[in-house]
Structure 1
Amino acid sequence: MEDTEKFIEVNGDFKMRKLTEDDLEQFNGLLSYAFQITMEDLLRTGWTEEQIMHAKMPILKNAYVLGWFYHDKLASMIVVYSMKVNIHDNICKMGGVTGVATYPEYTGKGLIRSLIKQVIMHMYEEGQFISFLYPYSIPLYRKHGWEIISDKITFTIKDSQLPKKKQAEGMMERVDLKCEDISNVHDYFSMQRHGAMIRDELAWDEYWRWDNDNIIASIYYSKNHKPLGYLVYYVKNDTFHIKEMVYLNTEAHDGIWNYISAHYSMVSEVKGNNYSGEPMAFLFEDSEMVENIEPYYMARIIDVQEFILKYPFLVKLPKLKLSFKINDPVAQWNSGVFNVYWIDEETVCEKTDDIHAANLVEMNIQTFTTMIMGYKRPTYLYECGRIQTEYYMLRVLEQLIPVEKPYFSDYF
C-alpha cells in the first residue's frame, strides 16, 4: 500500500509532495524544459555534465520545493528560498519564489494555482512576512497577490560620455571572485538600503553560478586599505558590461568610475543596470544617454498583521487610529480590517471585522504591498483608483510611509 502521509494533497492520479534529493533528475529536467536551457548552453559556460547535474542540489537541500506528480512523474513545481531582506533597516524573513514550471501537457488543471496557495501557507507558517519573485507573467502573479515593487534601469554610455577622472585617494584592485571583501562590502551596503537582499551562502552561489570565465571582480580600497566598493564586470566586443556596482560612499563611487573610464581605449561603450529607481543621466556631465526602465521584481505581503507590527512608520501619532481594510482572496488571514495605533511609541495592530472603523483605508493586498514598500506613493495610488479612502487620509499616509524606493539587484 502506498504511503500517503508524505503527500500534502491528492487529486485523482495527481499527488502533491515536497521534492527530495532523490528527485534531482526530474527537477533538473523540468527546469531545463520550462526555461529552455540546453546542455549545450551550459557546457559553453565551462561546466562539465556532472557539475551541471548537481549544480541545483543545494536547492533541494536548503529550499522548500513542492511539486505535483502524475504517476510518479513530476508534472509541476515551485521553489521557495528562505531569504532575508532589509525593510527600512529592519531585517525581515523573506520567501523567494522561483522555479515555477509545468509541463505543457498538464497546463489548465490548476496545478500552479494550488502550488502557489500552498507555498503562501508555508511562508506564513515559517514567519516569512514578505515574498519576492521575478515574474515571467506579471498578470499571473498579480492574481495571486504579488505586485511590482522595483525597477531595473538599463543604461548605455558612449566612450565619449565617460566621466573625467575625479580625486580618489584609494585604488582599485582586481581580486578573486570569492574574495571575502566583496561579501563584506555587500553586507554593509545591504544593511543601509531598503529592499536589498541580505545574501547568505546559497544566495552568493546563485549569484556566481552561471558566470563565464571572462567575469572579473575589482574592489575599491581606501588609502588605509578599507574596502569601500566593488565592481563585477566583463569586456566583450568593445563593450564594458557591468554586472554589479556597489559603493559605500562618494569616494568609492568616483574611484570605480575612474577605473571604468581607464578602459576608454579598449571599449566603445559601457552597459549596465541601475536598481536605485532613479535615472543616472543627471549625474553625468554629458547627460544625453539612453536609459530604459522596466519593471523588475514583485513582492507580496504574506502576513499583514505581523508586517505592520514590525514596520518602521516615520511618525508615531498617539492620537491617531487608522484602519486598513485589506482584500486578499488567497490568504484569508490577510482579509479584514486592521486597526493601527500607537501606545508609548509602540505600534499596535488589531484585526477586526468592523468595516465602519474610523479613518478607513481600503485596498487589495497588491496595492498594500507596493504602497507599504514605498514603490508607489499613497496619493498616486489613490489617483489611480487603487485606494478608497477620504482625501484627508492621504496626507496621513504620506507622513507615515518612508520616502524610499526598494533597491533590489538580485535574481533567483
Structure 2
Amino acid sequence: MSSHNKKEYSKENIIKRKKDKFKIRYLTLEDLEMFNNLLRYAFQVSNNELITLGYEIDEIKQAKSAVLTKAKVLGWFDGEKLASQIAVYPMKMNIHGVIYKMAGVTGVATYPEYSNLGLMNDLMIKSIEIMKKEGQTISVLYPYSIPFYRRKGWEIISDKMSFEIKDTQLPKTITNSGRVERVASDSKDLKELYDKFSHMRHGALIRGDLEWEEYWRWDVDDTIVAIYYDEKDEAKGFLVYVIENDIFHLKEMVYLNFEARLGLWNYISAHFSMVDKVHGYNYTNEPMAFLLEDSEIKETIRPYIMARITDVKAFIINYPFLRKPKNKKINLIIKDNMAKWNNGSFLIYWDEDRNTICKRLNKEYKRNSKDRYIIKMNIQTLTAMLMSYKSPSYLYKIGRIESSIKGINLLESIIPKEQVYFSDYF
C-alpha cells in the first residue's frame, strides 16, 4: 500500500470522513422527543419507571422541556438524527463570598454507534468556548465517569456523606426558645432563608426559580419542609425530609447558627416513637459523628460534584485571596487540553491597591527569584485547590503541583480554607 493510501485510510481521516456529513447545532423544543429518547437510552431510565414513582407522561415531558427552554443544548446531528448532546444551564455560585457566574452541565449523552468519533469531545470544547464568552468562569457537573471528566479538565470539589442513625442514638432534646413549623415547599421564608445561607456559604448554588424547579423536580409528593424560627420569629434553619417505612429520610438540613441546628435536631428527635432510623445526607465535607453524643453511627462518603475553571485569567482576577502581598508574584503554568486560552503561562501579582493582576505570558520563567515563584499544575488541580477541596501542601505531596516549598507556603497563606457546600442536583 502506498504512503498516499496509508494516509487516506488513517484513523483520523476515516473519522473525519464520517463526521463530514454531521452538523452541530442548538436543540429546540421541536427536538424534545429526540433529546428525551437519547437521555433515556444513555441512562437506562424508562417512562414506566418514572410513572411507578408517581409521574404522569405530561409531567415527564414538561421536566425534559425545561432543559431545552432554559439551558443551551448543543447536539451533533447525523442528518436529522440526534447523535450526541450536552446541556448547559446558566447559574451562579458562591466562591468564598464572591458570586460567580457558573455553567451547570447536564444531559451529556451519545448513542453507542457514534462512540469513538470524538463527538462529545467536540461538544465539550464548543461548550467551554461558549461558557468563556458568557463569563461563566467555572462549570459544575455530576459525573457518570470520574476518569472521563478528569480527562476533559473537571475535578472533584465536593463530597456527599450519607449517614444512618438509630432511634436510640438521636440527640437528647435541649431546651431552646425557638419553634419549628412545617411549611409549603414554595414558602417565601424557605427561599429567603436559603438565599441568606447561600450568600454566606462557600460553594453553595444561588437558587433562582430555575434552581428551585430542579431542586424539587423528582421529589415525591410526601416531601415535607420544616423551618426553625427563633424567639424573634426569624427563620434560621430548615429541614427537607420524607418519612417512609419507619425511616426518617433527611434530604437536606440548613442552618444559620448553632441554635437553629439544635432546634432542628430537637424536631427530628421528637419523631422517636415514629421511626426506627434516620437516614440522611450531609454536604459540609465534615463527618457528623463528632457532633453526636453517641458517635458510633454509620457514615459513608463518595464524590458528589466535579468542577472545572473555564477561564483562568478571569477566575483569578475575581478570586478573594486571603492575603494580597504586593511584593510577591506567581508564575502559574497551567496545562489544559480543552481550552487553549488556559493552556500556558500566567503572571499573578497584586498592585498597590491590592487589586489582583493576572497576565497571560508568552514565556515561562526558568528560575524562581526572591519575590517570584514558578508553580506548575493542570487545570483540574487548580480547580480543586482554589475551591479549597484539597490544600496546596497536600496536592504538592501527591505530585499534583510542581513548585518550591516557598511557593507552596505562599499558596497556603493566600487561599481560603472553607470547604464547599453543594447540595443541589440537575
Q: Deviations over 1:204-228 (max 9, x none)?
A: 1011111112211111112222111
Alpha-carbon separation, structure 2, partners of 1:202 and 1:257: 30
Matched, 1:123 2:137: no
* Cα distance in 1 between the residues matched to 2:253 and 2:336: 37
Matched, 1:99 2:113: no
What is the DSSP-based 3-state SS (H/G/I as helix, E as strand, rest coil) of the residue aligned with 1:333?
coil
Whole-angstrom CA distance in 1 between matches of 2:326 and 2:203: 28
Inter-partner Cα distance in structure 2 for 1:363 and 1:220: 45
Pick from 187, 190, 196 the counterpart of residue 198 of structure 2.
190
* 1:354 and 2:368 matched: no
Q: Does residue 398 in structure 1 map to residue 412 in structure 2?
A: yes
Instruction: Answer whether contact 1:14 1:70 (CA < 8 A) is retained.
Output: yes
1:45 touches 1:213 (CA, 8 Å); kept in 2?
A: no
Instruction: Say yes or no: does 1:154 pair with 2:167.
Output: no
CA shift at 1:143, angstroms? 0.5
- Match of 1:308, SS? helix
Give the counterpart letter for 1:247 in structure 2: Y
Determine helix, strand or coil for the equivalent of 2:425.
coil
Gaps of 5+ in 1: 1-9
Q: How far apart, in 2, do the equivalents of 1:210 and 1:406 lie?
A: 24
Native 8 Å contact 2:93 2:101 kept in 1: yes
- After TM superposition, give the deviation of residue 318 of structure 1 in Å: 1.1
* Structure-1-length-normalised TM-score: 0.96
2:6 alignment partner in structure 1:
none
Q: Confirm whether residue 313 of structure 1 aligns to residue 316 of structure 2.
A: no
Is 2:331–2:364's contact at 8 Å kept on the other side of the alignment?
no
Identity %: 54
Does structure 2 conserve the Cα–Cα contact (< 8 Å) formed by 1:78 and 1:115?
A: yes
Write out per-residue CA displacement over residues 84-143 of structure 1, whole angstroms, 9 at most, x where no aligned residue.
Answer: 000110000000111101112222211111111110111011110000011000000010
Matched, 1:11 2:25: no
Whether the 8 Å CA contact 1:80–1:98 is kept in 2: the answer is yes
Correspondence list, 1:7-406, <5 A: 11-343=19-351, 344-356=353-365, 358-406=372-420
- What are the superposed Cα offsets for residues 6-46 of structure 1, whole Å, 9 maximum, x if unpaired? xxxx9322211100111111111111221122112221233
Distance in 1 separating the partners of 2:316 and 2:79 = 44
Q: Show structure 2 runs of 5+ residues with no match.
A: 1-17, 367-371
Please report how far the alpha carbon of residue 389 of structure 1 lies from its aligned counterpart in structure 2 after TM superposition. 0.8
Shift of 1:58: 2.0
CA RMSD of aligned residues (A): 1.2
Q: Which runs of 4+ in 1 moved over 6 A?
A: none
Question: In 1, Cα distance between the equivalents of 2:44 and 2:192?
Answer: 35
State the Cα deviation string for residues 346-384 of structure 1 (Å, max 9, x = none).
111111022116410000111111011110000111110
Deviations 1:264-316 (A, max 9, x none): 01111101111111101011111111111111111100000011100011011
Shift in Å, 1:150 = 0.5
